[in-house]
Structure 1
Amino acid sequence: MHAQTATQAFFDPITWTVTYVVWDKASRHAAVIDPVLDYDFKSGHTHTGSADRVLAYVQENRLQLDWILETHAHADHLSGAQYLQQRIGGRIAIGEHIRDVQTVFSRMFNFERSFMPDGKQFDHLFKDGETFMIGGVEATALLVPGHTPADMAYRVEGAVFVGDTLFMPDVGTARADFPGGDAHQLYRSIHRILQLPPQTVIYVCHDYPPASREPEWQTTVAEQRARNIHVRDGIGEDEFVAMRTARDSALEMPTLILPSIQVNVRAGQMPPPDDNGIAYLRIPLNALPVRR
């Protein structure tokens, strides 16, 4: 049986992020997963080169955008969801536990009083196991916490888009040391994904390739179970948690974590401007752990 959907990937080499357009060949209805808004940390300027590549693809293929899906509130890039929605529509959606993430970070950044950590900045909040349609194709949202409390994977036909939960087999798995992260949960979430049929295609959100290969983003359940350096078959939960805890303690914070989180918990919206008409991102001093 031929696949009903087509998938196009867009790799951003600055943040190592992969954005996907998934569309129903019959109806030409589509979803965009994890769009990027480019951000220059030194100047504080945003630009839309990455999102414009996605926009051009959608327009050139005459697609109707139904969904803009976030796998989680990213710490390594700003979301391009608002930019795409303003130009080609689509409902911005994320997992319902984004409320937990909003609660933590609204306190850390001391957001404006009008900000409510209720998830209503998004058009839709998915529950675990909830099904939705991309044109005539049914998709399923799967809760996979651990990297953050709100991570979701999206299963579409014979593929699953896993966000930061899993990387390519030679890179391993996501960190679990952000607020609300949990290595035990991460292990169990990964194994939920790895219980899918062996031929299921896994699309990852990032690749940090070794020098020996070019960036890649497509693998399978079977390949992950056989070769993932962190969670291949035979590696138990306690061994994984010990590895992940030690590894995470040595990792630096992502370069864009402070600007990214402030925007992404708002569904890609910028903070409201001050009375001078300029919007500001905050830097909380001495609030995050020091990593040297």
Structure 2
Amino acid sequence: MGYPDDMKVHPKVTGFFDEATNTISYVVQEPDGPACAVIDTVLDIDYAAGRISYDSADEIIAFVQENGLQVEWLIETHVHADHLSAAPYLQEKLGGKIGIGEKITEVQEVFGKVFNEGTEFQRDGSQFDALFKDGDTYEVGAMTCFAMATPGHTPACMVHVAGDAAFVGDTLFMPDGGSARCDFPGGDAGELYDSIQKVLSMPDAMRLFICHDYGPGGRAIAWETTVAEERERNIHLAGGTSREEFIRVREERDATLAMPKLIIPSLQVNMRAGDIPTDGEGRPVLKVPLNGL
């Protein structure tokens, strides 16, 4: 389908790097006004101690307040498996609606079973304020944004595009980092290849903002590239890599990867739109299912 690209709109983008999880969160501001969206926030957790804190989220809150911005959206590009979302905390402090792709329901169904959640855990996406379909548009002040479905890493992955800026989640990394793993439940390397082709069909100058960077080869952390750079230099795609070759390389690579250190707490929290589950007495708790992943 066609997407409403508008390369004449140049939003202001500020990235916030979380060293503990190698995650980049973003504040995306309309070019000539105070409205903004916040993308892929991080809730700090000391997993060994069972403690959460809010330093990463507070940094974003301070930036928003100091610059007189108005948060209209809190966007999750997908259900993250490597960090916890701070969306409810930011919503309480700053407002805004929490949005994610409509196929969150598939993720909730799969991991509702993994974590043996009862009937009180709704699997209809109702924990979120908005569920985006492929091609849906939404407003950030006077700026029109749209969501592009990009399954492969997870079924609910979406790229969010605001003018000449696209926030790609885990679909792509920096060119020397390649692409996202596809071995989680619901992942599919062939689907990821198809999704990446959709991203790379956007204009060459489209700015791409990456959700994670690990500084391959010891280089400095980076999180902004372009469609042209990814098409020309991405280590999993450059040179006209075929779909079959991409699937082979991606699946071979995935077979060597360990599970993310925070996958168990992350999935429980993020499939709830960032809310922490509680026990029968209302105390925040996390489960550790054995041999479930």
State whether TM-score is above 0.5. Answer: yes
Deviation at 1:209, TM superposition (A): 1.1
Q: Distance in 1 between matches of 2:231 and 2:88?
A: 36
**Rounded Cα–Cα distance in structure 2 between residues aligned with 1:249 and 1:175:** 10
1:97 maps to which residue? Answer: 103
Distance 2:65 2:57 in 1: 12
Shift of 1:252: 0.1
Deviations 1:123-152 (A, max 9, x none): 000010001111000111000000000001
Contact 2:15 2:24 (C-alpha < 8 Å) held by counterparts:
yes
1:24-58 Cα deviation digits (max 9, x unpaired): 13231010000000011110100000000110011
Does 2:289 align with 1:281? no
Residue 2 of structure 1, CA deviation: 7.1
Q: Which of 253, 261, 267 in structure 1 is aligned with 2:259? A: 253
Residue of structure 1 equivalent to 2:3? none
Contact 2:210/2:223 (CA < 8 Å) preserved in 1? Answer: yes
Moved more, 18-27 or 146-155: 18-27
* One-letter code aligned to 1:5: P
Q: Report the counterpart of residue 18 of structure 1 in structure 2.
A: 24
Residue aligning to 1:80: 86
Structure 1 segments of 4 or more deviating over 3 A? Answer: 1-4
Check 1:225–1:25 CA distance in 2 against 1; reply closer, same or farther (3 A cut): closer
Structure 2 residue 195 is the aligned partner of structure 1 residue 189: yes
Counterpart-to-counterpart distance in 2, 1:99 and 1:233: 36
The alpha-carbon deviation at position 4 of structure 1 amounts to 4.5
State whether residues 92 and 124 of structure 1, in contact with CA within 8 Å, keep that contact through their aligned partners in structure 2: yes
Contact 1:34 1:79 in 2 (8 A): yes
| Aligned twin of 1:235 | 241
Aligned mates of 1:126, 1:218 — CA distance in 2: 24
- Partner of residue 165, structure 1: 171
TM norm structure 1: 0.96
Mapped contact 1:4–1:26 kept (Cα < 8 A):
no
User: Contact 1:274–1:280 at 8 Å: present in 2 too?
Assistant: no
* SS state at 1:79 partner: coil
Q: Give the equivalent residue in structure 2 for 1:207.
A: 213
Matches of 1:264 and 1:149 in 2, distance apart?
Answer: 14
Deviations 1:237-286 (A, max 9, x none): 000000011110110000000000000000000112332x4221111111
Query: Cα distance 1:155–1:14, how it changes in 2: closer, same or farther (>3 A)?
Result: same
Whole-angstrom CA distance in 2 between matches of 1:192 and 1:102 = 26
Match of 2:162 in 1: 156
Q: Distance in 2 between matches of 1:2 and 1:156?
A: 11
Alignment root-mean-square deviation, CA: 1.2
Aligned length: 287
CA contact (8 A) 1:80 1:268 kept: yes
Provide the C-alpha distance between the structure 1 equivalents of 2:220 and 2:270, rounded to a whole number of angstroms: 28
TM-score, scaled relative to structure 2: 0.96
In structure 1, stretches of 5+ residues that fail to align are none
Structure-1 separation of matches of 2:52 and 2:142: 35
Q: 1:92-171 maps to which residues of 2 (within 5 A)?
A: 92-171=98-177
Within 5 Å, give how 1:5-84 maps onto structure 2: 5-84=11-90
Please give the alpha-carbon distance, in whole angstroms, between the structure 2 residues aligned to 1:4 and 1:165: 22
Q: CA deviation at 1:198?
A: 0.7
Q: 1:233 to 1:156 in 2, by over 3 A?
A: farther
Structure 2: gaps (5+ residues): 1-6
In the TM superposition, what is the alpha-carbon distance from 1:194 to its structure 2 partner? 0.3
Distance 1:166 1:124 in 2: 24
Paired residues of 2:208 and 2:227 also in contact (CA < 8 A): yes
State the AA in 1 paired with 2:288.
I
